Amino acid sequence: MSTTTGRRRPGRPSKAEAGDTKAALLDAALRLFAQKGYAGTSVRAIAREVGLSESVLYAHFDGKRAIYDAAMALAGPQAAVVAADEAPQDPAAFVESFAARVLAAWDTPRSWQVVSLASRDGLIHDEALNAGIEDALAHLSEVFGGWLSEGRIRTDLGGPDDLAYALLAPMAHARVLWLHSDATPAQRERARHRMTSHAAFFARALQNPGDQAPSSP
């Protein structure tokens, strides 16, 4: 009677192990990118950073560009897409929830490294990064468009595209300035304050005059 049922073959990593290896390679690549730049980092150096062979790296990524794209997917503007897709019904609550979710995704060591990499190596104008930003803006525009058509927010501030850009652009600006690898703790705290303050201001500005709470006498 066989006793090997349900066991994986020798040498074949489990899904958990494969996921751990992929995450370790991604983190190693971002460390090296931050130190040596994208162009100055080789696939061999990334593999050696975690004590693996190049063949193991290629089992998880097609190459260096694929690693960069994976970093963008985890810590780039796509985080804003996810937040926009989970919009609550109340516009003001959505704006503040959106800012909190985006800040949580962008305020991590991995995300700081992504910003430093993009700015130092001239990748700030990279096609994938710009496509991610446009995708995030499109998702936000759809949310605002629905609320405008329902009369749930002010209509005198601009169209859906205007509102999407007005919400996201100051947050992205704070990220580039103060949420990167070389930023000081004080600078990162400034980014958090600016992003949350902007969201609170934007949420108030969206409200129709009749929906705003009366001021205290």
- φ, ψ for residue 154, nearest 5 deg: -60, 145
Q: Region of 44 please: left (phi>0), alpha (psi -120 to 50) or beta.
A: alpha
Residue with tokens 């969201």: 199
- The pLDDT assigned to 10 comes to 39
Whether the pLDDT of residue 131 is over 50: the answer is: yes
Residue with tokens 């652009």: 169
The answer to pTM > 0.85 is: no
Q: Which fold has domain 76-209?
A: Tetracycline Repressor; domain 2 (1.10.357)
pLDDT, tens only, 32-85: 887 888 888 999 999 999 999 999 999 999 999 898 888 777 666 666 776 677
Identify the CA nearest to 167 among candidates 130, 128, 205, 124.
205
Burial class (CB in 10 A: 0-12, 13-18, 19+), 213: exposed
Q: Measured between alpha carbons, how far is 179 from 189 in angstroms, rounded to an integer? A: 9
The more confident residue out of 6 and 198 is: 198
State which CATH number among 3.40.1440.10, 1.10.760.10, 3.40.50.300, 1.10.10.60 fits the domain covering 15-68.
1.10.10.60
The more confident residue out of 87 and 50 is: 50
- The full set of domain ranges for the chain reads 15-68, 76-209
